[in-house]
A and B are shown apart, each in its own frame.
Chain A
Amino acid sequence: GDSVTQMEGPVTLSEEAFLTINCTYTATGYPSLFWYVQYPGEGLQLLLKATKADDKGSNKGFEATYRKETTSFHLEKGSVQVSDSAVYFCALRVDSGNTPLVFGKGTRLSVIA
């Protein structure tokens, strides 16, 4: 079946450090890929998405490129801030029928000043 694998956390970085959170996927069809972010005590919010190979999603300084050849969608940010501390979820959806999103287990990021 379809699945998403994320690097395990927690990830702890100093402010202004470079962030990479790895995400790889397995899908039976041609998926759309998403990154969601969950701030403490809140629900999930869409951070960025990409719907086809080589697309780059970007938002709030975060970027991720849809790599079909490596089945990956790694999240990156050049300079993290304390306010980026959250749990990040990679997700996919195969665009056929009404299939819901499939989520990874999440990666907790803590940024210290």
Chain B
Amino acid sequence: NAGVTQTPKFRVLKTGQSMTLLCAQDMNHEYMYWYRQDPGMGLRLIHYSVGEGTTAKGEVPDGYNVSRLKKQNFLLGLESAAPSQTSVYFCASSYLIGGAYNEQFFGPGTRLTVL
């Protein structure tokens, strides 16, 4: 199993450009998440999904959109990139067993720079 993978690993954008970050998991997990990590801020939740075809806003959703068309994929889109979106983006997935919450598995991250 590859676990959680993210594409691309690095990207540089100019202000106003758009891009999509892809997250894929091969563990058949129901839940998927997108976080951003900034110095001194820890991880902040952008959007998340509790199943195929469903998404919900997290703590910092503005400027981002997401889609979960397939259970194994969770896409994060930036329609018009801004320098404030320079960050490291992490995807994660998790599952429930018998109603008990289990750990989140994280991808290796995507480092995005917006000039």
Binding site for B on A (CB under 8 A): 32, 34, 41-46, 49, 51, 89, 93, 95, 98, 100-101, 103-106
Contact = CB atoms under 8 A, between A and B. Distances in A.
B108 A43 contact: yes
Interface string B1-42: 000100000000000000000000000000101000000111
Given A42-B108, A100-B58, A101-B104, A89 B90 contact: no
B105 to A, nearest CB: 8
Contacts of A51: 100
Most B-side CB within 10 Å, residue of A45, A49, A89, A101 = A101
Contacts of B74: none
Nearest to A47: B103
A39 B9 CA distance: 16
Interface of B: 4, 31, 33, 40-43, 45, 48, 50, 58, 90, 92, 99-101, 103-104, 106-109
B94 to A, nearest CB: 8
A28 to B, nearest CB: 16
Contacts, number: 45
A98 B31 CA distance: 9
Given A43-B90, A44-B90, A103-B43, A98 B50 contact: yes
Secondary structure of the A contact surface, majority rule? loop
Nearest to A43: B106
Nearest to B41: A105
A49 B103 contact: yes
A111 B29 CA distance: 35
Given A44-B106, A45-B106, A100-B33, A93 B101 contact: yes
Contacts of A49: 103
Contacts of A34: 103
A33 B100 CA distance: 13
B48 A104 contact: no
Contact of B101 (A32, A103, A104, A105): A32
Nearest to A51: B100
The 9 closest A-B pairs by CB, nearest first: A43-B106, A105-B42, A46-B103, A44-B106, A98-B50, A103-B43, A106-B42, A43-B108, A103-B42
